[in-house]
Amino acid sequence: MDIEGKRVLITGGTSGIGLATARALAARGARLVVTGRRRNAVDEAVASLRLAGAEASGVSADVSTEEGRTATLLGATRSLGGLDILINNAGAVRAGRLTDMREDEIRTMVEVDLVAPILLTRAALPALKDGAGGMVVNVTSAIALIAMPFYATYAAVKAGLSSFSESLRRELNGEGVRVLTVYPSGTDTPMMATNRAGPDVGFSLEPAEHVADAIVAGIASDAIEVIRGGPERQALIDLNRKDPLAVDARFLSIKSAFEEGVKSHSAL
Ligand SMILES: NC(=O)c1ccc[n+]([C@@H]2O[C@H](COP(=O)([O-])OP(=O)(O)OC[C@H]3O[C@@H](n4cnc5c(N)ncnc54)[C@H](OP(=O)(O)O)[C@@H]3O)[C@@H](O)[C@H]2O)c1
């Protein structure tokens, strides 16, 4: 897909991977609407994008509510005069033992990470089909491919989003709307600020700009998926398919240190 002039809506585009992707798409001539719940963060993101020469505006809304999704989509289509690319990027995470999770925390992950992208995509499809060729980009997580311990709900909703994305890609095949599934690995963003797990338990962070560049390359080349984390992560994904008990054993050997590192990880 030629990105020049494309009308793009990025949920959670005020921070981290979303904002870096907005910047990278703007550099390729896209027109943007970025969203988030916090008004001041939306204003700051829009100001920084405009300062860099982008055509950008913002919507302050919560994608986990019907009202917020309506405001998001209406705001975007009014500002842009239509829509070519929807990037479902807003996300929520809370790690820890399942028995330590509150029901509202579990439900927030289900609503933000899974229900919101499904319903926003459903609402956006008529606009996406209206243009010269549309695209839905779903930002899931490498955890959808290897479910790490102490992330049971987050892994479940990200795997759900991954399956939604694959099924929708096949449903829309030949109808002018492509679907790209993105699997970031650890990325240095505010979402990871409360994660204290380090390289001793296999955690490392890459800059959000690297993930953004890979997303933009994926859009430009009509790729079906972008998987981050390099050859090491790919080897673990392959092992998880071929010999899941070997991956179980690997996690068992670091289980206490891993739990200690991730138990306070929360960005809801
Ligand atoms: N960072 C990683 O290591 C990593 C790894 C794998 C996958 N991911 C996924 O990548 C995506 C982006 O994450 P990130 O690390 O870039 O996070 P981030 O820097 O914390 O940014 C999250 C963005 O989503 C917005 N947001 C959160 N909840 C929202 C809601 N209910 N409605 C609307 N906007 C909402 C936030 O703005 P407000 O707070 O103002 O709403 C912010 O703009 C997420 O889907 C995440 O699950 C991240």
Q: Is residue 227 part of a domain?
A: yes
Q: Which ligand 1 atom sits closest to the C-alpha of 62?
A: 32
Query: What's the pLDDT score for residue 249?
Result: 98
Which pLDDT band, with edges at 50, 70 and 90, does 60 fall under? very high
Q: β-pairing, 85-88 with 187-188?
A: unpaired
At 187-239, the pLDDT tens digits run 999 999 999 999 899 889 999 999 999 999 999 999 999 999 999 999 999 99
| Binding site membership of 90 for ligand 1 (Cβ less than 6 Å) | yes
User: In angstroms, rounded to a whole number, what is the distance separating the alpha carbons of residues 252 and 245?
Assistant: 10
Closest CA to 115 of 69, 183, 80: 69
The residue whose C-alpha atom lies closest to atom 2 belonging to ligand 1 is 187
Q: Which ligand 1 atom sits closest to the C-alpha of 34?
A: 43
Question: Phi-psi category of 250—alpha, beta or left, where left has phi over 0 and alpha has psi -120 to 50?
Answer: alpha
Q: Is residue 67 part of a domain?
A: yes
User: In angstroms, rounded to a whole number, what is the distance separating the alpha carbons of residues 22 and 87?
Assistant: 10
Q: Is residue 129 part of a domain?
A: yes
Q: Which domain holds residue 257?
A: 7-267
State how many domains the chain has. Answer: 1
Distance (angstroms) between ligand 1 centre and the Cα of 246 equals 31
Q: Is residue 74 part of a domain?
A: yes
Which pLDDT band, with edges at 50, 70 and 90, does 19 fall under? very high
Q: Is residue 49 part of a domain?
A: yes
Angle, vertex CA 192, rays to CA 159 and CA 158, nearest 5:
5
- To the nearest whole number, what is the mean pLDDT of the chain? 97
Closest CA to 195 of 262, 252, 128, 243: 262
Res. 131: pLDDT tops 90:
no
Which pLDDT band, with edges at 50, 70 and 90, does 92 fall under? very high
| Binding site membership of 191 for ligand 1 (Cβ less than 6 Å) | yes
Q: Is residue 158 part of a domain?
A: yes
Question: CATH code at 151?
Answer: 3.40.50.720
Distance (angstroms) between ligand 1 centre and the Cα of 78 equals 24
Q: Is residue 2 part of a domain?
A: no
| Binding site membership of 112 for ligand 1 (Cβ less than 6 Å) | yes
Residues annotated as catalytic (active site), given as ranges: 154
At 246-268, the pLDDT tens digits run 999 999 999 999 999 999 999 99
Which pLDDT band, with edges at 50, 70 and 90, does 132 fall under? confident
| Binding site membership of 38 for ligand 1 (Cβ less than 6 Å) | yes
The residue whose C-alpha atom lies closest to atom 7 belonging to ligand 1 is 141
Rg (CA), the chain: 18
Q: Which amino acid is at 57?
A: S
Q: Is residue 84 part of a domain?
A: yes
Q: Which among 15, 69, 104, 137 is the best mutation to test ligand 1's pocket, defined by most ligand atoms within 8 Å of the CB? A: 15
Mean pLDDT over 145-162 rounds to 98
**Burial bucket for residue 54 (CB in 10 Å: 0-12, 13-18, 19+):** buried
| Binding site membership of 262 for ligand 1 (Cβ less than 6 Å) | no
Query: What's the pLDDT score for residue 116?
Result: 98
User: In angstroms, rounded to a whole number, what is the distance separating the alpha carbons of residues 64 and 108?
Assistant: 8
| Binding site membership of 141 for ligand 1 (Cβ less than 6 Å) | yes
Distance (angstroms) between ligand 1 centre and the Cα of 243 equals 32
Q: Which ligand 1 atom sits closest to the C-alpha of 111?
A: 31
Q: β-pairing, 206-207 with 266-267?
A: unpaired
Query: What's the pLDDT score for residue 173?
Result: 97
